[in-house]
Amino acid sequence: MLVFKLALRNILRNRSRSLLTGLTMLGSYVLIVVAFSVQEGTYGNILSLYTQDNSGHIQITHKTYQDKPSLYKTVNQPDELISQLESFQFVTSVTPRIHSAAIAYGSQKTTPALLVGIDVIREQNTSNLANKVSNGQFMSGKPDSDGYFQAMIGGGLARQLRLSVGDELVLISQGADGSLANDIFMVSAIVGDINAPERLNVYLPLTGIQQFLSMPNRVHQLIVLIDDYRNSIDRTEAIKTSLSSDLIDAGLDAFPWQIIEQEFYRVMKADIEGNVMSQYTIIFLVCIGILNTILMNILERTGEFGVLKAIGTTPRRIFNQIVVEAFLLAVLSCLLGLIIAIPVNWYLVTVGMQMPEPVDISGVFVESIIGYMSLWVFVRPAMIIIIAATMVALIPAYRAAKLEPLDAMRSL
């Protein structure tokens, strides 16, 4: 098209001017990419770690378990459901869990403890629990030669009851059948320290806790991790549709982390909305930055436009010409900007920026700010720059289109 050819030629015509404007656009583009990447990445990191360790991305539980958890609301015979879940392409791992409470007893003191029953192998493939072991070894799922199962206890509990690795832990609770649950477990590891969120937890192997609480082949939750936690809501729907009869018959339901961790999710959304404001700010600043040069650009060529109009170019064409030039310049700048933006982002994603102090999120230490790699991270800023440039050019283009050829040619 003639317009584009002319636009390109005009851009190349005055190198320095185009370069100046283009560099501003390029620089802004790279910077916005970095800003987006960091914002996305920080949250993404936190969320990823937190959901992995706690709620999982999706959970299958009894349908009222989320609001009012109870020992008796269970998922029965979970094995089949687990294999069905694993057959989904987007599911990366599934692990069952049991939650209960008990009195823990050690030498002279008793203290309440939170019991978490885990599948020893599956759990290690799903959450970061193994990394949180501060002392001893991750427990095995099988009872020892004396018939005792192992347990892993939180740092707070260890301190209160003065227990260390190799000691006996006595637990007393009420079984799911109402019976008195009492048993001894061998402490194989201590998890975290006295300040960790897990400090009052006791982790037991699934078979061990099922025996203890008289709930054979029953669990409370199936924790599901998927390939991209951002898609949890859609994937939950997919699971619900596929397995609807199995779930409904058993009185179960599937929940994405956005519902399980509702409060956190709402705060995150509010924060992101706050970020939108800073994005508008960036757009504004970019606009002003470019305005100068584009304006200059057009003003300088007043004479040119006068001549063009004199020989018959319609105002519409002049308008289009100018706008397309701005548009094209922006596009070119962004394309060139990609050359810098991609490696920079890659660095942010793989290495990240080290923070002055590591931050403890849900028991895992986050040391650096990580970027986020996705198509969106590159496309969105480009859209911003291109739209900004085009919008900035509109008014001067309009003014140029309305020029009186005679007045315009005076500036030649």
Partner 1 sequence: MKWTKILLPMLLVTSNLVLAETLGIATKSLSNELTVEELVDRIDNLYRLDSSHATITMEIQTPDWQRSMTMEMWTKGQDYALIRILAPRKEKGVATLKRGNEMWNYFPKINKEIKIPPSMMMGSWMGSDFTNDDLVREVSLLEEYDAELETQDSGYKLTLIPKEQTVTVWGKIIIDIEPQHLLPTKERYFDEDGTPMREMRFLELTDFDGLILPRVMELVPLNKDNQKTTLVYDNLVFNQSPDDKLFTLINLKRMR
Partner 2 sequence: MYLLWKLASRNILRNTKRSILTILLISTSVIIVIFSDGFVVGMTDNMVKSATRVFSGDAQIHHPEFLQSYDPSYRFNLSGLVKSLQDEPLIAAVTARSISPAMISSSANIKSVQAIGINPDTEKHLSKIESSVIAGNYLTGDTTTEIMIGYLLAEALEVTLNDRVVLSIPALDQSDVSQDLFRVSGIFQFNTKMMDEGMVFLPLEHSLQLLGDTNSIQEVAFNFVNPKLAEDTSLQIWQKYSSNEQVAQSWTEIFPTLSTLLGMLDYTMLIVGLILYMIVALGVINSMFMSIYERTWEFGVIKAVGTTPQQIFQLIMLEGFILAIISAVIGTLLGLLVNYLVAINGIDYSQIEFVGVTIVDPVKTVIRPIQYSQLPLWVVLLTLIACLYPAIFAARLVPNKALHKSL
Question: How far is it, in rounded angstroms, from Cα 412 to Cα 311?
Answer: 16
Nearer to partner 1, 170 or 359 (CB): 170
The gap between the terminal CA atoms of the chain, to the nearest Å, is 28
Q: Which is nearer to partner 2, 38 or 322 (CB)?
A: 38
Token pair for 258: 């956005």
Q: How far apart are CA 355 and CA 287, in angstroms?
A: 32
Please identify, using beta-carbon distances, which residue of 72 and 347 lies nearer to partner 1: 72
- Closer by beta carbon to partner 1, 99 or else 122: 99
Query: Which one of 184, 259, 338, 387 is in contact with partner 1 (CB under 8 A)?
Result: 184
Nearest distance from C-beta of residue 292 to partner 2, angstroms: 5
Give which of partner 1, partner 2, none residue 332 binds (C-beta under 5 to 8 Å, depending on kind).
none
Q: Which is nearer to partner 2, 216 or 358 (CB)?
A: 358
147 binds partner 1, rule: CB under 8 A: no
Which partner, partner 2, partner 1, none, binds residue 23 by CB below 5 to 8 Å per kind?
partner 2
Choose the contact partner of 194 out of partner 1, partner 2, none; CB within 5 to 8 A by kind: partner 2
- Rule CB under 8 A: which residues touch partner 2? 16-17, 20-21, 23-24, 27-28, 31-32, 34-35, 38-39, 42, 111, 156, 159-160, 194-195, 263-264, 266-267, 270, 278, 281-282, 284-286, 288-293, 295-296, 300, 353, 355-357, 359-361, 366, 369
Q: Which is nearer to partner 2, 109 or 402 (CB)?
A: 109
Among residues 176, 287, 290, 408, which is the contact residue for partner 1, using CB under 8 A? 176
Site string for partner 1, 100-139 (x = CB under 8 A): ---x-x----x-----------------------------
Nearer to partner 1, 27 or 175 (CB): 175
**CB under 5 to 8 A by kind: which of partner 2, partner 1, none does 195 bind?**
partner 2
**Tokens matching residue 317:** 């064409």
**Closer of 133 and 296 to partner 2 (Cβ):** 296
The item of partner 2, partner 1, none sharing an interface with residue 281, based on CB under 5 to 8 Å by kind, is partner 2
Residue in 166, 178, 274, 312 binding partner 1, rule: CB under 8 A: 178
In the window 199-238, what residues touch partner 1 (CB under 8 A)? 214
For residue 294 the two structure tokens come to 């584009």
Query: Could you tell me the smallest distance in angstroms from the CB atom of residue 223 to partner 1?
Result: 24
Distance CA 97, CA 223 (A): 7
- Binding to partner 1 in span 327-346, by CB under 8 A: none
At closest approach, how far in Å is the CB of 2 from partner 2? 28
3-class SS string, the chain = CHHHHHHHHHHHHCHHHHHHHHHHHHHHHHHHHHHHHHHHHHHHHHHHHHHHHCCCCEEEEECCCCCCCCCCCCEECHHHHHHHHHCCCCEEEEEEEEEEEEEEEECCEEEEEEEEEECHHHHHHHCCHHHHEEEECCCCCCCCCCCCCEEEEEHHHHHHCCCCCCCEEEEEEECCCCCEEEEEEEEEEEECCCCCCCCCEEEEEHHHHHHHCCCCCEECEEEEEECCHHHHHHHHHHHHHHCHHHHHHCCEEEEEHHHHCHHHHHHHHHHHHHHHHHHHHHHHHHHHHHHHHHHHHHHHCHHHHHHHHHCCCCHHHHHHHHHHHHHHHHHHHHHHHHHHHHHHHHHHHHCCEEEEEEEEECCEEEEEECCCCCHHHHHHHHHHHHHHHHHHHHHHHHHHHCCCHHHHHHCC
Distance CA 91, CA 115 (A): 27
By CB under 8 A, is residue 149 in contact with partner 1?
no
**What residues numbered 66-105 form the site for partner 1, per CB under 8 A?**
71-72, 103, 105
Residues that bind partner 1 (CB under 8 A): 71-72, 103, 105, 110, 170, 172, 174, 176-180, 182-184, 214
